[in-house]
Amino acid sequence: MTAVKTLGQFIIEKQADFPYAKGELSRLLRDIGIAAKIVNREVNKAGLVDILGDAGTMNVQGEGQKKLDVYANEQFISALRSGGECCVVASEENDECVYIESEISKNAKYIVAIDPLDGSSNIDVNVAIGTIFSIYRRQSSEGKPRISDVLQKGREQVAAGYVIYGSSTMLVYTTGKGVNGFTLDPSIGEFCLSHPNMRIPKDGKIYSINEGNYVHFPQGVKDYIKYCQEENADSGRPYTSRYTGSMVADIHRNLIKGGIFLYPVSSAYPKGKLRLVYECNPMAFILEQAGGVATDGVNRILDIVPDHLHQRSAIFLGSQNMVAKLSEFLTASGLTSYRIDKVISAP
């Protein structure tokens, strides 16, 4: 019989990887894991209780908030507040940073950026949704944390992860030493290590993009989509198109099977739709740690300096060879100076 390793056990075991660690990051990850279980419980009840539908409020981007978005936001912030290791939470659902100023948090070193419930258009229709989080170490040494503590480059992340509430619930995270995935065993209420050392295949046959917006895409992206659809026995084309509208689900699938996820600029979203700080950066960190690549078409995602909290970015991420091929089309169309060979940094 194989011994089960829980998320809590795994986190403590890995603490030894960080000689300077005093357990704060481990406790922070534990707090996130606890909130994820509570959110999971409510997500699974959706439809049974009066929790579906609009909360009647708008978030900072003017998008309607669903009740579960609000609930998830409150749960994560509350877990981080009572955990004592986090001094600022930057959330998709809050216009401004939430500063945690309790007695137990007065020496807290960590900043958490979070999209508490991503893929909100899928909540009402039983399609997988997710939570995305990113953790930074505070740079300023005293007083109230500064906005520059929050607006660090993605490559400064000390940890990042996502939770997928799908056919099963999984938590996948990295601390910069590879990627590990844990599946929630509802019978014991624990995330258990199920996907150790996740690696994205170098090649893939899945492309994930909202093709309904095709007419608005940059030429290089249009050309790449046509390439994916062409018949070519040697490269296994045409590729398969898979897109749920939940970034976490689409990227999780591509991480396991090999593939590319694209959300380019378009006329509807001239700067891209997805948010750099709490959607693109954590996903880029995880994918790079799994051996993949993430770019906005010009820059490595993790090298972009954010200038505001809710900043949007185009994003292309996934299997190395697929992103490299896309880059060829972007370059040929004159869009980019991106050099994929400069950013491939598989651990």
Smallest distance, Mg ion to C-beta of residue 143, A: 31
Q: Which is nearer to ligand AHM, 92 or 190 (CB)?
A: 92
User: From residue 96, how far is each of 61, 85, 90, 147, 156 by CA, in Å?
Assistant: 12, 20, 7, 10, 21
**Using the rule CB under 6 A, is 273 a contact of ligand AHM?**
yes
Integer Cα distance of 66 and 59 in angstroms:
10
Stretch that binds Mg ion, among 1-9, 43-51, 116-124, 283-291 (CB under 5 A): 116-124
Q: Which is nearer to Mg ion, 118 or 296 (CB)?
A: 118
CA nearest to 172, candidates 7, 344, 345: 7
User: Binder to ligand AHM among 247, 265, 323, 335 (CB under 6 A)?
Assistant: 247
**Using the rule CB under 6 A, is 336 a contact of ligand AHM?**
no
Residue type, 271: K
Give the distance from CA 101 to its chain's centroid.
27
Stretch that binds Mg ion, among 111-119, 157-165, 231-239, 264-272 (CB under 5 A): 111-119
Q: State which of positions 167-226 bind ligand AHM (CB under 6 A).
A: 210
**Using the rule CB under 6 A, is 91 a contact of ligand AHM?**
no
Question: In this structure, what token pair is assigned to residue 281?
Answer: 């950066």
Smallest distance, Mg ion to C-beta of residue 134, A: 13
Smallest distance, ligand AHM to C-beta of residue 245, A: 5
Q: Which is nearer to ligand AHM, 26 or 120 (CB)?
A: 120
Q: Which is nearer to ligand AHM, 63 or 95 (CB)?
A: 63
Smallest distance, ligand AHM to C-beta of residue 112, A: 17
**Using the rule CB under 6 A, is 325 a contact of ligand AHM?**
no
The residue sitting closest to Mg ion, measured at its beta carbon, is: 118
Stretch that binds ligand AHM, among 7-15, 114-122, 199-207, 313-321 (CB under 6 A): 114-122
**Using the rule CB under 6 A, is 296 a contact of ligand AHM?**
no
Q: Which is nearer to ligand AHM, 238 or 245 (CB)?
A: 245
Stretch that binds Mg ion, among 6-14, 108-116, 170-178, 318-326 (CB under 5 A): 108-116
Smallest distance, ligand AHM to C-beta of residue 108, A: 26
258: left (phi over 0), alpha (psi -120 to 50) or beta: left
**Using the rule CB under 5 A, is 85 a contact of Mg ion?**
no
User: Binder to Mg ion among 69, 85, 115, 190 (CB under 5 A)?
Assistant: 115
**Using the rule CB under 6 A, is 118 a contact of ligand AHM?**
yes
Spell 213-231 as b/e; 16+ CB within 10 A means b.
beebbbebbbbbbebbeee
Q: What is the largest CA-CA distance in the chain?
A: 64
**Using the rule CB under 6 A, is 119 a contact of ligand AHM?**
yes
Number of residues counted as binding ligand AHM (CB under 6 A):
11
Enumerate binding residues for ligand AHM (CB under 6 A).
63, 92, 115, 118-120, 210, 245-247, 273
Enumerate binding residues for Mg ion (CB under 5 A).
115, 118
